[in-house]
Amino acid sequence: MSTTVTYLFDPLCGWCYGASPAVQKLGQQSGVTLELAPTGLFADGGRRMDAAFAEFAWSNDLRIAQLTGQRFTEAYRQNVLGRHGSPFDSAAMTRALTAVSLTEPQRELDALKTFQEARYVDGLDTGNALVVGVLLRGLGLVAAADRLAAADAELMERNAARLGQARRLMRLLGVQGVPALVVHSASGDRLLGGHVVYGDTEHLLGQIEAS
């Protein structure tokens, strides 16, 4: 019997990128049904990159790299953090993931990993919808790319609904930030804090089974 686990995240969250190896492994487990729940934490906030924020982000990224082994390259530092004035906005990636969920839902986790690596390793501006569309097409997710470009009514409604569901779940369980995992069982929902996704995968699976 499969256990359903909801993954609360934002595609621009550096700590969520740090959690990516564990989340990817979790998505491959035959006994786990992993549901992606983007929260919109950094979507449509109007924030733009500046020198102070770039310095703060890089300092945080170095901590994440030390803890998780995930790569934050000089290309990212120069081309993303160094592009002062560019939007810090996850709306395009969030809508893109929803487009994938509507067209090829089994590829959504793959798309998330690609977006994260495109930013932090390749130094691409994944806040730009055109860049995100190119990444989708590179994955062969043409239908999702077309829907992202068109921003059709169904996509926008479904995206808003997903964000609303994720935020309600966060409020219900008192989730203060992302990443976070919620294990669903007959006895109710149980929150696993983000720290569990930075350790051993077997320990993580044990925490899920214990729920």
* pLDDT-based confidence at residue 1 (cuts at 50, 70, 90): confident
Q: What pLDDT score does 30 carry?
A: 94
- Hey, is 151 helix, strand or coil? coil
Average pLDDT rounded to a whole number, residues 174-191 = 95
**For residue 179, what pLDDT is reported?**
97
Q: Per the confidence metrics, is the pTM higher than 0.95? A: yes
How many angstroms separate the CA atoms of 111 and 91, rounded?
Answer: 15
Domains in the chain: ranges and CATH: 3-210 (3.40.30.10)
Q: Is the dihedral of CA 15, 6, 26, 100 positive or negative?
A: negative
Tell me: the pLDDT tens digits for 56-101? 999 999 999 999 999 999 999 999 999 999 999 999 999 999 999 9
How confident is the model over 163-172, as pLDDT tens digits?
999 999 999 9
In total, the chain counts a number of residues equal to: 211
The pLDDT value given to residue 211: 58
Cα–Cα dist 59/54, whole Å: 9
Per-residue pLDDT of 119-154, as tens digits, reads 999 999 999 999 999 999 999 999 999 999 999 999
What lies within 8 Å, CB to CB, of 100 at 6+ separation is: 107, 108, 111, 136, 141, 144
pLDDT digits (tens, 9 = 90+) for 12-70: 999 999 999 999 999 999 999 999 999 999 999 999 999 999 999 999 999 999 999 99
**In 10 A of CB 87, how many CB atoms?**
18
161: left (phi over 0), alpha (psi -120 to 50) or beta: alpha
- Give the pLDDT of residue 71: 98
